[in-house]
Amino acid sequence: MNKFAFKGILQNEGWVDQVAVTTDDNGIIRSIETADESTMNFKGFALPGFQNAHSHAFQYAMAGLAELHSVSPSQNDFWSWRNSMYRLALHISPKQLEDIATMLYKEMLRNGYTHVAEFHYLHHDQQGKKYAQLSEMSERLIAAAQIAGINITLIPIYYEKGGFGKKAEKEQCRFISKSFEDYMNLFEACEKSAHNYSLANVAYGIHSLRAVEFENITRLCEVKTKKTPLHIHVSEQLKEIEECIAYSGQRPVEWLSNHVNLDENYHLVHATHLIDEEIEQISRAGSNVVLCPSTEGNLGDGLFPLSKFLNKNGKWSIGTDSHIGINPLEEIRILDYGQRLITHSRNTFGNSNSGDNGQIAIESSLVNGRKAMGIDQKKFFEIGAPLDALVIKDNTPLIQSCSKKNRINTIIYAVDSSMFYGTIVNGQWMIKEGLHLNENIDLNFIKTMNNLKVR
């Protein structure tokens, strides 16, 4: 048994102060009780741990490296960035992927993420050949999560084409499943690999409408386990939408809605460029959009129509995608401020019941983020669930001088990572006073980067 004493924990109804949380040996909460200040050493304010609902771990190796832009007349956009990403993808070995992902997952923990959905498509060797163990690269990601100490939902991605009606490009050879059966064999291998780590599970993933034959998309959606999440990139780029219309006569979300029984277990990543009818289709189905504001801004994707989406009671979560940013509070702020700039209103997340932006944003990103991982848990902290938390320092002047009613918005809008005390996963401190117990993580990452010679 372990006991944690917090100056406050954030619950769905707001802050509960002076709380003692007891967990069993497996990190499961057994009691949540208010306690006497004279008998407990209370420390920090605990938020529920954040879910990173969209990650490409290997891309962390190129964070910050795509900003030396060409001065030629040709536009520098997502598609030119993608060429740089492909060059990196062709060179990473399994051990290097493990080192990169371990470093990334440690940084996620340091910033308050306790669970990551790994949208993984780097399946084969540098020549595009299958490894003897089909899930070799997936096992490296699971190992990285285990070393760092983060929960992981592994999403082996189905990827078979180079675009609408196009064969796969040579640079995509490591991603490709040549048939539906090949993908299902890969998925089953990943399920077996996930058994090696108690904090791992597996979800389905389709890279995008342009990357998989339509008949195989519908086939996968028909055979997938009903409650298992399915993640897919959709409508991130205007060019993608134009090509989808030219190929199918329909926009991407329109096609999905007409051919797939969308429900709450579908997670549409980015969905940047939607029209009103598509917003209605997603909302009516109860599907979730996964927004990655720092990456979407970095790539120049555009701004998701959040205000219209929220007016339809749309559900959203956050991810960090290419990891140009890894702080969940920053993701929420970028999402919010982008909307303020185009709506000229400051009440982005507010609804008819509340104008408490911070509380609403936390609840949406948390509950829908958990759904993205295959977890149906709506309460922030509850008996019978694991203790996963980001703990904010209580001794910083901004927090010390803050009333209870303003505390969550102060944290969401005015706190930076220097004010994070630590992160708890499954009842264990994985980060404490900003430090991880395993110092070799940094050293292994630096060695790998020096060997790759990309930085």
**Residues carrying an active site annotation:** 270, 321
CB-based contact 256:267 (threshold 8 Å): no
The one-character DSSP state at 62 is: G
Task: State the Cα–Cα distance between residues 119 and 137, nearest whole angstrom.
Answer: 12
Quick check: helix, strand or coil at residue 45?
strand
Whether residue 109 contacts residue 431, with contact meaning beta carbons closer than 8 Å, is answered with: yes
Closest by Cα among 115, 116, 121 to 138: 121
Count of H helices and E strands in the chain?
15, 17
Q: How far is CA 332 from the centre of its chain?
A: 13
- The 3-state secondary structure of 131-153 reads CCCCCHHHHHHHHHHHHHCCEEE
Report the C-alpha gap between 93 and 280 in whole angstroms. Answer: 43
Beta bridge partners of 48: 389
Q: DSSP code of 210?
A: G
Q: Which amino acid is at 228?
A: T
